[in-house]
Amino acid sequence: MSIYEKLNEQQREAVFYTEGPLLVLAGAGSGKTRVLTHRIAYLIEEKGINPWNILAITFTNKAAGEMRERVDNIVGFGSESIWVSTFHSTCVRILRRHIDRLGYDTNFTIYDTDDQKTLMKDVCKYLKIDTKIYKERNLLAAISSAKNEMITPQEYRLQAEGDFHKQKIASVYEEYEKQLRANNALDFDDLLVKAVQLFQTQPDVLEYYQERFRYIMVDEYQDTNTVQFMLISILAAKYRNLCVVGDDDQSIYKFRGANIKNILNFEQVFEDAKVIKLEQNYRSTGNILNAANAVIRNNRGRKDKTLWTANGEGEKISFRQFDSAYDEAEYVVDDIREHVKQGECAYNDNAILYRTNAQSRMFEERFVTAGIPYKIVGGINFYARKEIKDLLAYLKTIDNGQDDLAVRRIINVPKRGIGLTSVNRVQEYAAAREIGFYDALRAVDLIPNIGRGASKMESFVALIEHFKAEAEQVRISELLEDIIEMTGYVEELKAEGDVEAEARMENIDELKNKIAAYEEACTQKGELPSLSDFLEEVALVADIDSLDENSDYVILMTLHSAKGLEFPHVYLTGMEDGIFPSYMTITSDDPEEVEEERRLCYVGITRAKQQLTLSCARRRMVRGETQYNKMSRFLKEIPMKLLSTGAVFEREDKEVKMQNTYRQAKQTFQTKAFSTKPVQQFKVSNGKGPGYDVGDRVRHMKFGEGLVTSITEGGRDYEVTVDFDTAGTKKMFAAFARLQKI
């Protein structure tokens, strides 16, 4: 039996169509890698094409390695001559031979990210650029974006005409390129740009590689940017035997420069192109695919295709709406535990997907208290993230100045100009006198040879002492806000203005949520929130090292990280407008932004093989405040007949709900229970009312003055809606809001 007989009709068509441009629209789970490898095998075995004439481009070294291995297994002899590589490694091989034509030496250096940063520092210093206004990272991002669009420094300057900010960037770009050339160095973007320039200016070199690569195949074509498209187009221009494989519905890397138009406009660039759709899915059940089809159909910028499967309908998609994000996390963890207990699956059959890394915190805490192993893919455990460790180190220092590690961590965060030499001298002084690092800092004027660092250290100590005094007067949430404001921590992150900085700010917002939840839990139990108790709670749930490293673990990841993977059971969480799609997307005027988010939702749904659970919460803490979110618009696009809606997850025993993660963590880790401190809290007793009525003017400590528009009785508390003069309309619980009638 021929290896090609195992392919379906469309797959065979794609394998056998070897001459001329070909676009293979490969839906999720439709076997595109199989098509690519069999196509290479067909070219060699049946068409007699010399392996030397074949170029296959993938996006990662891992994918290139897997493709070569699969081709080896099919073809065997001769496959080592095929070029299977990434865009960048293809270009490096070409440039190593011919870059002297562009005035560079062939032994050029490739600058990695750190090298680029160092060079940019030198450029800014030379041009006297204020790096507080023009962050080095932002300048590099602007240059990278220009190179991805094949915009030279000269063109960039012309485009910047009349825009002072852009003209500044143009000057930096020119100098940056000048210094790269002087160092005989290329950055990663240059590898592609210079290869295109080489082909554009050296016809004989182009001719050689066009003859060499008569058959070109490109995987994940929807993720290509403009310069990658140009490279492929030039190489394929002579023989036009170009096969690109991709799925426009899975184009989710716009923020990295991916241009979806490359795949959408393929037939306009190559007018005689053949288009083959791979619509049979081998991964998922019918119900899961019908849901994915129903969602993605709402996008306008796409090529029409409908996934189907011979796998059968399968189970209905579980949809669960919860009262709070806490309930959502609890349900998901309990559901996984129950399935594993029943022997229906292993832990690693389950994946929890979310829109942002910050959302992992709630699940992590629940897994730790339940003693279930988990692993975060493409991210770091919540309490191990730099910004969280930094802010917790501030709180630890305020609570207990004896924690030397915490003090040393933050002494120069954000940067205060305190160098390592000064820190070491303080450390030596402390060790010699057998006192703590912070105590030595308080006596910094007694330390010999401390020099200019002394005044900066005195300012740091004064700041910590201010916070210590404040900690006795205000709530932990207010203390954290003051730390952030007075140190300028978030301001520094905002100034960076990149995707990573955004994610870090989201994590800080999640820490605020954690503190607000802790304070609320204390209020409900009639206890006084204390900084020491809070830090102890965090230490318990952050102690993930107590779990044995086991290969069988639940996987947690963002939707972006999940692309290309599959799992028997997927939990797609946080399906609310404002979370997914994100608030920024909803408020932007660009409809393409919402389409990008919808593609991300499609990617999430199609990761599931057998079971899919979609969940959302009515209220969720965002930036330490309770937010009431509508159900995600993507959920509403799924037909009801595909969904199994269980009862809304609410506990009958209200007291159980109030038992927070902290209590459970204590039980898990067998720590001694804290003694309760009964104090008068801001409680509302039903029947007496909150002390103000609809129509009254009230004052909130953060939002200022406003008008009470509604008061709803809900269980043990009142839900109050206030139309604030400056902060807009907010819903809040009376006990927690502490509104004062004016």
Helix%, strand%, coil% for the chain, nearest 5: 50, 15, 30
pLDDT at res. 402 = 73
CA gap 127, 125 in Å, rounded? 6
Distances (CA, A) of 721 to 628, 716, 738: 12, 17, 13
Q: Provide the β-strand partners of residue 135.
A: none
Residue with more model confidence, 504 or 607: 607
pTM of the model: 0.72
6 is in an annotated binding site: no
Q: Tokens for 631, please give them.
A: 């159900």
SS3 of residue 284 by DSSP: coil
Q: How many CB atoms lie within 10 A of CB 695?
A: 8
Q: How far is CA 730 from the centre of its chain?
A: 29
pLDDT at res. 584 = 87
Q: Averaged over 381-394, what is the pLDDT?
A: 88
With b meaning 16 or more CB within 10 Å and e meaning fewer, what string describes 260-273?
bebbeebeeebeeb
pLDDT at res. 61 = 75
32 is in an annotated binding site: yes
Q: How far is CA 92 from the centre of its chain?
A: 29
pLDDT at res. 157 = 95
User: Does position 676 have pLDDT exceeding 70, yes or no?
Assistant: no
* pLDDT band, very low/low/confident/very high, at 688 (cuts 50, 70, 90): low
pLDDT at res. 452 = 77
30-80 pLDDT, tens digit per residue, is 999 899 999 999 999 899 999 999 999 988 777 887 888 888 888 776 667
Within 8 A by CB and 6+ apart from 283, the residues are 28, 29, 309, 566, 606, 609
493-518 pLDDT, tens digit per residue, is 887 766 778 888 889 999 999 999 88
User: Does position 677 have pLDDT exceeding 60, yes or no?
Assistant: no
626-654 pLDDT, tens digit per residue, is 889 899 999 999 999 999 987 544 433 33
469-481 pLDDT, tens digit per residue, is 888 888 999 999 9
User: Does position 614 have pLDDT exceeding 90, yes or no?
Assistant: yes
Q: Provide the β-strand partners of residue 717.
A: 714
Q: Averaged over 429-451, what is the pLDDT?
A: 84
726 is in an annotated binding site: no
Least confident of 147-151, 164-168, 286-290, 538-542: 538-542
Which residues are the active-site residues? Answer: 32-33, 219-220, 250, 607
Q: What is the mean pLDDT of the chain?
A: 86
Q: Averaged over 106-123, what is the pLDDT?
A: 86
27 is in an annotated binding site: yes
Least confident of 141-155, 552-566, 586-600, 675-689: 675-689
Give the rounded percent of residues in the chain with a pLDDT score beyond 90.
Answer: 52
CA gap 623, 484 in Å, rounded? 13
Is residue 462 within 8 A of residue 477, CB to CB? The reply is no
pLDDT at res. 262 = 95
567-606 pLDDT, tens digit per residue, is 999 999 999 999 999 988 998 888 899 999 999 999 999 9
30 is in an annotated binding site: yes
pLDDT at res. 623 = 78
Which position has the token pair 């969602």?
Answer: 295
Which position has the token pair 């993605």?
Answer: 296
431 is in an annotated binding site: no
pLDDT at res. 155 = 96
275-332 pLDDT, tens digit per residue, is 999 999 999 999 999 999 999 999 999 999 999 999 999 999 999 999 999 999 999 9
User: Does position 669 have pLDDT exceeding 70, yes or no?
Assistant: no
User: Does position 116 have pLDDT exceeding 50, yes or no?
Assistant: yes
User: Does position 678 have pLDDT exceeding 60, yes or no?
Assistant: no
Please classify residue 441 by burial: count the beta carbons closer than 10 Å to its beta carbon, then call 0-12 exposed, 13-18 middle and 19+ buried: buried
Listed residue (440, 443, 485, 446) closest to 463, CA to CA: 485
